[in-house]
Amino acid sequence: MANPRLRGFFWWKRWAKTNWIILVAGFTIILLALTVTIDSWSKESDLNGSLDPKTSLVDLTLLRNAKDRGAVCLDGSAPGYHLRKGFGSGTNNWLLHIEGGGWCDTVASCSSRKRTALGSSLYMDHRIPFLGILSHDPLQNPDFFNWNKVKIRYCDGASFSGNPESELKNGTELFFRGQIIWEAIMDELLSVGMANARQVLLSGCSAGGLATLLHCDDFRKILLKDARVKCLADAGFFLNEKDVSGNHAMHSFYRDVVRLQGVAKSLQRACVSRMEPFQCFFPQEIVKNTKTPVFLVNPAYDFWQIQHILAPDASDPYNNWRKCKLNINNCNASQIEILQGFRNSMLKSLHEFQQNKDGGMFINSCFAHCQTWMASTWHSPSSPRINNKTIAESVADWYFDRKVVKEIDCPYPCNPTCHNMDFSGGL
């Protein structure tokens, strides 16, 4: 019989070779599940008197002169964004939202990714709905509904932080241009009115939430000095924690992303001067040096982190965690105890940030991931609440300096307003 330690080692080695498959496949499943959920929640919102989501479709704009600037997706196609112009009192206010979608850490995973909408504009939907934080419906988005709103599509695989110096000149035809894409899109938005913005909120979901944190201070510098500029990261606070087998899965994965795509050049100098660059890709380090006010929206039981950081498939060879990862209600007492430990690790990582007088947070006890870009979780009669406040209300209280917002929920399963995701339909 094989030595258990060696068997664990071989599983870890297999994960190192196939982690990109797990991450890409997992995120694809999540997107499909969320699409179905959004559709049903949108119908619910319509019944509650909100606008028909079909009226919220916004066209894709491909970046002008993208190839001349070298600002291209993984496959060399032009990156894009969706823009809905503001109106009324929101004409000079801007809200940007960066799309999420994981990362790629190997030539193989990036090559696979470039044949999807997360690596090429050739596969992107040309019209998408603007819901939640991007909605123009005052019932769904009371404080930001009439602002100029932009959704930035994600096609570089490194949270808009890759650099071309690291591109492999061996015929792989992969372009690591995340940083250049970011700068080119910012220049274009400045040219179409953002240069005159008086109030601005940069936001993003998941890998887009990480991109928001990475670029927050530099974003502040390109805008008017007297403008109100703040940043919101939704489900972007990824932890540097050991998994259930004792391995640092995310630790190793981020190291490979940073090395492959030359991310170190885009990271905070103060951080990389005192630790390895990949460590500065973790939000808990980024927020220590960020000067611009930041708000963190994150579920304490982030299903993506539970599925890929705490209990990745390669560290669960006998599928003991499978049902639990698909539906938190399926978790046994021992697994719930481990999940509570994971929550404690998140709160410990947030302790220093919690003391930041300009920072805000909404850490609910839901089995969820991104919560700002869906009407039902952003702001609706049935939205998740802490102290009877929705995420939208809490973010607005913080953004407009109405009150200090440091909302931390009680442990699962205490909050009956949670929209806990359920992926177990195929079991």
Q: Which of 137, 243, 256, 302 is catalytic?
A: 302
Tell me the C-alpha to C-alpha distance, in Å, between residue 103 and each of 27, 158, 192.
10, 5, 30
Nearest to 380 by CA among 41, 96, 55: 41
d(CA 372, CA 416) in angstroms, rounded, equals 19
Q: Which of 369, 379, 383, 409 is catalytic?
A: 369
- Strand ranges across the sheet with 93-98: 127-129, 57-62, 80-84, 148-152, 93-98, 199-205, 228-234, 294-299, 360-364, 406-408
Long-range contacts of 247-251 (CB under 8 A, 24+ apart): 247/12, 247/15, 247/315, 249/15, 249/19, 249/308, 249/309, 249/312, 249/314, 249/315, 250/308, 250/309, 251/278
Q: Check if the beta carbon of residue 100 is closer than 8 Å to that of residue 206.
A: yes
The set of residues, in sequence order, having a beta carbon less than 8 Å from that of 169 and lying 6+ positions away, is none
- For 400, the token pair is 């407009």
Q: Is 145 helix (H, G, I), strand (E, B) or coil?
A: coil
Tell me the C-alpha to C-alpha distance, in Å, between residue 353 and each of 236, 346, 349, 358.
14, 11, 8, 9
Q: Which of 121, 206, 365, 383 is catalytic?
A: 206
What's at 29, amino acid-wise?
A: I
> Roughly how many angstroms between the first and final C-alpha of the chain, as a whole number?
31
d(CA 305, CA 284) in angstroms, rounded, equals 15
Check if 302 is active-site: yes
- Give residue for tokens 């540097």: 240
DSSP 274: T
- Give residue for tokens 């995120």: 27
Longest pairwise C-alpha distance within the chain = 72
Catalytic annotation, residues = 206, 302, 369
